[in-house]
Structure 1
Amino acid sequence: MDMTANVFLAAIQMKVRRVVLASSNHVMGGLKEEGVNIHTAKPITSFSKPKPGTHLVYPLNSDSTPYAVAKLFGERLAYALSHSPLNIDTCFIALRIGWCMPKENQPKDSSPAGTVNPDTVGKIKSAVRGGKCTKTDPEQVTEWFQLMWLSNRDFLQICEKVITADFSGKFHIFNAMSRNTGMRWDLAYPQRILGYNPKDDVTKHPRPNGDGKIGIYQSLTISRERRLKSKL
């Protein structure tokens, strides 16, 4: 946090035109509990109230709240400094980066662990086969992460846009995901301000359970009515 504050203050002092903070989807991770896709919960926009921390039961019992709070601190500090009378020239931008895998970054390799570790991916593959869809099972959890996938070329595009696009304002938050059908993450704001035009869609790629089918897990296609009935 000290490093982030020092960089931000130095940027203002040196009259840097733009500062881009690599924030995270985990700032909004608590919203996963409301629903993992647009069929079960409302969109997550650049202006939605933060709810930091993604809670994961399987395959790793983990809680990203400390990491998420650190990212949220960076966002709020950027917002405060953008309104400071000492800041004349600097625009602060927070990119809430979606889900990216190392190297090729292919959806078929995705897992909530954020790696392509064979043991973790193997657990996911085994757990989703034929299992009943519930709010905490790996199928639903992995759907949350899959639907915020950010492909390599879309990642490069939005990074270029925040540097080169012509826009005004001292502070902006942008969701940084690919154009994934059914996701809750709303891209209208980066599209309007930056001209961001993502090219990829996770639902057009082989899914990560190893069956070779295109798309993500079945829970994406389950209607809202069917989901509600399953809870009765």
Structure 2
Amino acid sequence: MHVLITGAGGHLGRKLFDALEQEGGYRVSGIDIRPVDHPNIHTADLAEGADWTELFDGVDVIVHLAGDREPAATWASAIKQNMDATLTLYHHAAIRGVKRVVLASSNWIHGDKRFTDDRLDSNTPPGPVNAYGMSKLFCERTGAYFATHRGLSVICLRIGWTQWTHDNRPGPHMAMGRWGQEMWLSDRDFLNGMRCAINAKNVSFAALNLMSDNPGMRWDIDETKRVIGYRPKDGSAARVTTKIALTSWLKSILTVRIPKLIEKRFPGW
């Protein structure tokens, strides 16, 4: 199987590239916006032109990790690097006979649920609160379109938090308090989930959570287990300090309870 990884020189991309290359059973190539010291990782900007599309010839699965990964991404960057680039990738993948795209989606699709108690699964209504989250929702929905109308299998993985610091160890040092800790994803669970998505059979379209099996988290990974055979090996309960608990309580009041009270008192305000 020929797997092409976009963003292959990045934090997650290089981990996956090296793992697939070392274990064998795959032919692995990559694309990155910056030069990478590897003969099979090619330099290209997916948001500029289409001279890179010949790299899709003979590819079975594209793992699309490239793009602006920052929650604080500007609209200009999110549109160009995430929306436009992904739409172009889907188009040329379908033309050149790629069977599947595994899309790196994001938990920010449910950013508005951070201070609620909602269960988070594929049926939970989206609520992106920034340009980054909106761009990932766009990429999921266009993926669904290409699955329905162009026969391209698309699996969107709403990837949890694999830190590039602290050796990716979970704990209260992680930003975003309990929310951040509960979406922790270990390196081996990330690699396992990606392999499962690459190899899954009979999946036309799916949008799935990819976190480790963290006790008490609100993300549902049962569907991920059922649809692609994901079996997490790790998990860590959130360690909620007094500061984290107080911050979460205050933000819940400001972002959830007060707006609901205002809407109840002044409908349509």
Code of the residue aligned with 1:217 in structure 2: it is V
Contact map agreement 2:112 2:127 (CA 8 A) in 1 = yes
- 5+ residue gaps, structure 2: 1-82, 254-269
SS of 1:33's partner is coil
| Structure 2 residue matching 1:185: 3-state secondary structure | coil
Shift of 1:74: 0.5
CA deviations 1:122-181 (Å, max 9, x no partner) are xxxxxxxxxxxxxxxxxxx40111001001110000000000122x23210110000000
Distance 1:11 1:155 in 2: 24
Q: Does 1:95 align with 2:157?
A: yes
Selected match of 1:45 from 103, 111, 121: 121
Q: Distance in 2 between matches of 1:13 and 1:101?
A: 35
User: Match for 1:6 among 88, 100, 112?
Assistant: 88
Shift of 1:111: 2.1
Deviation at 1:42, TM superposition (A): 3.3
Which structure 1 segments of 5+ residues have no match? Answer: 35-40, 54-64, 113-140, 204-214
TM-superposed deviation, 1:218: 5.6
* Pairwise CA distance, 1:201: 1.1
How many Å apart are 1:2 and its aligned residue? 1.6
- What is aligned with 2:143? 78
Residue equivalent to 1:111: 174
* More RCO (CA 8 Å, sep 6+): 1
Deviation at 1:188, TM superposition (A): 0.9
- Asked if the contact 1:20–1:93 (Cα under 8 Å) also holds between the matched residues in 2, the reply is yes
Q: Which residue of 2 aligns with 1:159?
A: 194
Tell me, in whole angstroms, the C-alpha distance in 1 between the residues paired with 2:218 and 2:178: 11
Q: Aligned partners of 1:156 and 1:143: how far apart in 2? A: 24
Query: Deviations 1:51-82 (Å, cap 9, x if unpaired)?
Result: 112xxxxxxxxxxx111111111011111221
The equivalent residue for 1:188 is 222
1:190 is paired with a residue whose SS is: helix
Percent identity among equivalent residues?
36
Deviation at 1:28, TM superposition (A): 0.8
Aligned positions, number: 162
Q: Which residue of 1 aligns with 2:105?
A: 23
Compute the displacement of 1:196 (Å). Answer: 0.6
Q: Give the 3 Å change call, closer, same or farther, for CA 218–110 of structure 1 in structure 2.
A: closer
- In the aligned structure 2, how far is the partner of 1:94 from the partner of 1:81? 13
Alignment-mate amino acid for residue 128 of structure 2 = P
**Which amino acid in structure 2 is aligned with residue 111 of structure 1?**
M
Find the counterpart in structure 1 of residue 181 from structure 2.
146
Counterpart of 1:198 in 2: which secondary structure?
coil
Counterpart-to-counterpart distance in 2, 1:152 and 1:11:
28
